[in-house]
Amino acid sequence: MSDLAYLSATDALELFRTRALSPVELMTAVIERAQAVEPRVNALSEKLFDEALDQAKKAERGYLGGGSPRPLEGLPVAAKDEQPIAGRRASDGSLASADHLADTTHPVVERVMAAGGIVHARTTTPEFCCAAFTHSRLWGVTRNPWNLDYSPGGSSGGSGAALASGTATIATGSDIGGSIRLPASATGTVGYKPPYGRVPAMSPFNLDHYCHDGPMARTVADCALLQNAIVGPHPGDVVSLRPAVRIPDRLGDVAGLRVAYSLDLGDWEIEPDVAANTRAVADALAAAGAIVEEVEVRLRRADVMRAAFIHFGTIFGPMVARVAAAHPGELTPYALAFAEETRAAVERDGFLAGLELEGRIYAVIGELLDRYDALICPTAGVAALPAGEDYVDTKLTVNGVQLDHYLEYSLTPVFNIASRCPVLNVPSGLSSQGVPTGVQIAGRSYDDATVFHLGAAIERVRPWPTRPQL
């Protein structure tokens, strides 16, 4: 049954339609897998297994009745805990709000359910989703199924770990600085940061142009399937775009596409195995028919970090600080550090200086994407961070260089600044620690389809393993 737990969503739907597989059989396999591995991985913040099995039985009856199934009918879907569900706990991974109950359901989860997806579990995050790793006082340490000594990344680390450990078929995530792409990279899965406004979100963070909700999966086709189920305008989100733009069913034609690739975007430190895997992806795209050229990108990670922390200091950081003030002694050291670092950044430089810096950063990316259809680069300079480390008093070293702030290991915030660019993470290989590495495929503003075509071509030419030895 554990092999069934790794069945792709698109294959499962086809088997459901031909009655070769029941939604109950798939849900049972996923639940059994969770019962076997969750004590070691700890990716699920809430298990809704009994309800899920009841819903799977209802889906089974629908398929047997010969009706028209909805797009996600009967699939086990893990929802990121940050995305509230009415009547269920809405803790933000914090002891300070451990007893809060949501009074509304997030548009993404709402659409998953409306499409027939079965939310059988919710997935862990760091406190307030303010870290690139996943552990908290509320839920403990979430571990990477590929190597339990490492984190699955953050903040959608529970979703990435659930996919990699076979305890979900598809999953939801959100991304304010890399929180979909970093976990996807570290867990060998596929994660999509849609362009701003493509997928509806909740107030007030829907008004933050760094913020994106999106899909995570083990295959490019599965990621597209979930993206198509959650995309489109929503009456509760003024920035949600109309009309809905969906990913094509047929993917992978990249002949003649011009693709730039950079190993460091300018001056990010990159471990040798990450660099080698990125080059291999570039070679795979060339083999698939794309025109691939290595380029020099003149960005500075210090500028990107400065712009990001100024931005975080205007919305995200103050939210954390407000909770900290109301609940002294209850927050994690990393959440307190985030609130203070971001406050200091905006106080020192001011919001206008941050916007001016963001404009200069995007000018570099925009000029490049005017000449190329897409840009490929590593998702992070190192495969994964050690599990349980919060980098408050510890410095991170990448490629022999000690970073000023651990988040400088990530190349993802560039594309939260360039928030209208669609970005797809796909696996690029394995690191020396046995942990996956990933690449970002960044497209032109609102050109969703091209990054999926490129991801599908990489998957075809350079397929990745989807099941760790756990």
Q: Would residue 470 count as lying in a domain?
A: no
Give residue 81's domain range.
4-461
Alpha-carbon distance of 321 to 311, in angstroms, equals 15
Alpha-carbon distance of 442 to 192, in angstroms, equals 10
For residue 133 the two structure tokens come to 């790793």
Alpha-carbon distance of 226 to 102, in angstroms, equals 24
pLDDT of amino acid 66: 84
- In which element (H, E) is residue 35 found? helix 23-41
Into how many domains does the chain fold? 1
Out of 94, 155, 159, 165, pick the active-site residue.
155
Per-residue pLDDT of the chain (470 residues; tens, 9 = 90+): 458 999 999 999 999 999 999 999 999 999 999 999 999 999 999 999 999 999 999 999 999 998 899 999 999 999 999 999 999 999 999 999 999 999 999 999 999 999 999 999 999 999 999 999 999 999 999 999 999 999 999 999 999 999 999 999 999 999 999 999 999 999 999 999 999 999 999 999 999 999 999 999 999 999 999 999 999 999 999 999 999 999 999 999 999 999 999 999 999 999 999 999 999 999 999 999 999 999 999 999 999 999 999 999 999 999 999 999 999 999 999 999 999 999 999 999 999 999 999 999 999 999 999 999 999 999 999 999 999 999 999 999 999 999 999 999 999 999 999 999 999 999 999 999 999 999 999 999 999 999 999 999 999 999 999 999 99
Q: Would residue 429 count as lying in a domain?
A: yes
pLDDT of amino acid 1: 42
Alpha-carbon distance of 154 to 261, in angstroms, equals 25
Alpha-carbon distance of 270 to 380, in angstroms, equals 8
Active site residue 58: no
For residue 223 the two structure tokens come to 């990621």
pLDDT of amino acid 2: 55
Distance of CA 185 to the CA centre of its chain: 9
Dihedral angle, C-alpha 278, 284, 288, 293, nearest 10 °:
50
36 burial type by CB count under 10 A (0-12 exposed, 13-18 middle, 19+ buried): middle
Active site residue 431: no
Residue whose tokens read 């809405």:
90
Alpha-carbon distance of 271 to 431, in angstroms, equals 9
* Cis upstream peptide for 94 (omega within 30°): no
Alpha-carbon distance of 203 to 71, in angstroms, equals 27
Residue whose tokens read 């849900």:
27
Alpha-carbon distance of 44 to 134, in angstroms, equals 12
Q: Would residue 64 count as lying in a domain?
A: yes
Q: Cβ–Cβ contacts within 10 Å for residue 429, how many?
A: 20
- In which element (H, E) is residue 312 found? helix 301-312
Out of 80, 165, 419, 431, pick the active-site residue.
80
Q: Would residue 467 count as lying in a domain?
A: no
Q: Would residue 375 count as lying in a domain?
A: yes
**65-90 as b/e: b if 16+ CB within 10 A:** eeeebbbbbbbbbbbbbbbbbeebbb
Q: Would residue 469 count as lying in a domain?
A: no
Q: pTM score, two decimals?
A: 0.98
Q: Would residue 45 count as lying in a domain?
A: yes
Active site residue 80: yes
Dihedral angle, C-alpha 388, 392, 394, 400, nearest 10 °:
90
Q: DSSP readout, 113-131?
A: HHTT-EEEEEE--SGGG-S
Q: Which residues contact 355 (CB under 8 A, 6 or more apart)?
A: none
pLDDT of amino acid 69: 97
Out of 97, 179, 185, 419, pick the active-site residue.
179
| C-alpha separations of 286 from 251, 260, 405 in Å | 16, 11, 35
The enclosing domain of 354 has a CATH number of 3.90.1300.10
